[in-house]
Structure 1
Amino acid sequence: MPAFSVRLQQKILEHSPLCVGIDPSAALLKGAGLPDSPQGAFEFGRRVLEAVDFGISLLKPQSAFFERFGSAGLRALEELVRLARGQGVLVLLDGKRGDIDSTAAAYAEGYFSAGTTLRVDAVTTQPYMGLGALDSFLDIAFKAEGGVFVVVRSSNPEGEALQTARLAGGESVAQALCREITSRNRQWSESIGADAGPLPGPVGAVVGATCADADAMTVAMPHSFILAPGVGAQGATMHDVLRRMPNARGRVLPNISRAVLANGGSKAEIAATLRELQAQARDLM
């Protein structure tokens, strides 16, 4: 199987760089006319996929909105992931996992091992035990040709003070993460005998589309795909993504979640919304 970054790049060229979030909250399910249940959560994801005939690059189910239903919710998530991947859609599980040593490895095995029932293509992680604590997670993902997206600059205002705090050497926390992520992608490139060139590596980053310093972050990670939340309900537009991340063309993945229902919750209305957003997202290539 090709590396995650190769698979993703191919899908972007085929469809667009749009990342479609599946966040089946009670309010969103109500807006779609679906029950607030595991079955409703799965049906919402299936409705989105079928609305565009599985013609999207990246589906991002938010694990928490399935986990809230317990084991039945996890089964619904597994079923949605199998449906998407079975039709060639890449799945980025949004779980923001992060821990140390064997625990980090156990998380990774849950998403990338041969025997897992929740095999995905990539996972979001949080690095605030230190990026080095995720090394075992990264190693397992790399061996399985998977990807990892590390939260660097989130779109929520509560994260700014921590992420922009200065370390002893003068770098901000976010800047230090950019440097370490770039180093790991270069190491990956060297390990497969390739120069760190135009193809991004397997370690992507989450950089909010609403962040004023988004351009500096993306410039500091030239070998990373950039997941850009904040488009739609949080106020950013596709034009904002292009304006704030001009050096990330071809690498930036604008994420929409609640905006899926901007024009209504029927399959036809979702299809119209996603066609419009995909057309806008192609301007970022």
Structure 2
Amino acid sequence: MSTFAARLQQAIAQHSPLCVGIDPSASLLKSCGLPDTAEGAFEFGKRVLEAAQYELSIIKPQVAFFERFGSSGIRVLEELTKLSRSRGVMVLSDAKRGDIDTTAEAYAEAYFSPSSPLRTDALTTHAYLGFEALEKFLAIALRNDGGVFVVVRSSNPEGRELQQARLQNGESVAANLSRLITERNARVGSGLGPIGAVVGATCEDAAETADQLPSSFILAPGVGAQGATIQDVLRRMPAARGRVLPNVSRAILANGSTESDIRTTIRAMQEQAKQLL
């Protein structure tokens, strides 16, 4: 298998950098005429994939919306992930895992072990137990050609105070994480590395943060329902062209919830997202 960075670059070149979120909340399933069950969540994900005719670079299932159904939700998440990857669509599982020692190893094995039914291409993590605590996690992901997206600057306003807090050396928490991610990517090789970052499209310091992450793919949530547009991503992260992934979730239903409606919306957003190349 080729590296995560190589696979994602190829997918972006083929389809656009648009990342489509799969967020089957109770209200979203209701708006789509689907039952608020694990099966309804799977049908929604499948509807999105089929609407796009599997011509997507990457999808981002929000794991919480599947976990809420217990074991049946995990089962359909496994099925959706397998379906997507079998049709050439990469999967970024949004679980925001982060822990230490053997627990971090266990999380990584769950999502990156070749034998795991949850096997994904990439996973979101947080580093608030210390970036170094993610080392075993990163090692397993990299050994299996997976990608890791570390939350650096989230799109929610509640995160600003913590993420912009200053350390003793004068760096903000976000800047410190950006530097450590860049240094860790450099140990893998030159060019874009397997450790990406989450930087909200609504953040006023998005450009500065993106500049501090020159070897990382950047997942940019906040497009659509949270108020940002793809033009905002282009304006706020000009140095990240070719490596920023605008994430759209609820907004894929902007023109309606039928397969045809979703196809129209996704195609239009893909064309807009190509401006980020």
Confirm or deny a common fold (TM above 0.5): yes
| In structure 2, C-alpha distance between the alignment counterparts of 1:35 and 1:207, rounded to whole Å | 33
| In structure 1, C-alpha distance between the alignment counterparts of 2:11 and 2:249, rounded to whole Å | 19
Q: 1:204 maps to what in 2?
A: 196
Task: Give deviations 1:106-132, integer Å, cap 9, x for gaps.
Answer: 000001112211100000001100110
| In structure 1, C-alpha distance between the alignment counterparts of 2:171 and 2:66, rounded to whole Å | 37
Q: Which runs of 5+ in 1 are unaligned?
A: 190-195
Q: 1:109 maps to what in 2?
A: 109
| In structure 2, C-alpha distance between the alignment counterparts of 1:159 and 1:62, rounded to whole Å | 19
Does 2:77 correspond to 1:84? no
Q: 2:38 maps to what in 1?
A: 38
Q: 1:267 maps to what in 2?
A: 259
Specify the code of the residue in structure 1 equivalent to 2:60: K
Q: 1:14 maps to what in 2?
A: 14
Runs of 4 or more, structure 1, over 2 Å off, are none
Does 2:231 correspond to 1:239? yes
Q: 1:193 maps to what in 2?
A: none
SS of 1:230's equivalent?
strand
SS of 1:95's equivalent?
strand
SS of 1:254's equivalent?
strand
Specify the code of the residue in structure 1 equivalent to 2:264: A
Pairwise CA RMSD: 0.5
Percent pairwise identity: 64
Task: Give deviations 1:250-273, integer Å, cap 9, x for gaps.
Answer: 000000001011111000000000
Matches within 5 A, 1:1-285: 1-189=1-189, 196-197=190-191, 200-285=192-277
Task: Give deviations 1:21-65, integer Å, cap 9, x for gaps.
Answer: 000000010111111000000000000000011000001000000
SS of 2:151's equivalent?
strand
| In structure 1, C-alpha distance between the alignment counterparts of 2:195 and 2:114, rounded to whole Å | 21
| In structure 1, C-alpha distance between the alignment counterparts of 2:151 and 2:75, rounded to whole Å | 26
| In structure 2, C-alpha distance between the alignment counterparts of 1:145 and 1:77, rounded to whole Å | 21
Q: Give the deviation of 1:146 after TM superposition.
A: 0.3
SS of 1:229's equivalent?
strand
Specify the code of the residue in structure 1 equivalent to 2:235: R
| In structure 1, C-alpha distance between the alignment counterparts of 2:220 and 2:114, rounded to whole Å | 30
SS of 2:152's equivalent?
strand
- Taking structure 1 as the reference length, the TM-score comes to 0.97
Q: Give aligned pairs, total.
A: 277
Task: Give deviations 1:3-29, integer Å, cap 9, x for gaps.
Answer: 000000000000000000000000010
| In structure 1, C-alpha distance between the alignment counterparts of 2:230 and 2:123, rounded to whole Å | 23
| In structure 2, C-alpha distance between the alignment counterparts of 1:131 and 1:94, rounded to whole Å | 18
Specify the code of the residue in structure 2 equivalent to 1:57: S
| In structure 1, C-alpha distance between the alignment counterparts of 2:98 and 2:74, rounded to whole Å | 19
Q: 1:192 maps to what in 2?
A: none
| In structure 2, C-alpha distance between the alignment counterparts of 1:31 and 1:210, rounded to whole Å | 26
Specify the code of the residue in structure 2 equivalent to 1:224: S
Deviates more, 1:175-184 or 1:110-119: 110-119
Task: Give deviations 1:72-118, integer Å, cap 9, x for gaps.
Answer: 00001000001100100000000000000110010000011122111
| In structure 2, C-alpha distance between the alignment counterparts of 1:225 and 1:15, rounded to whole Å | 16
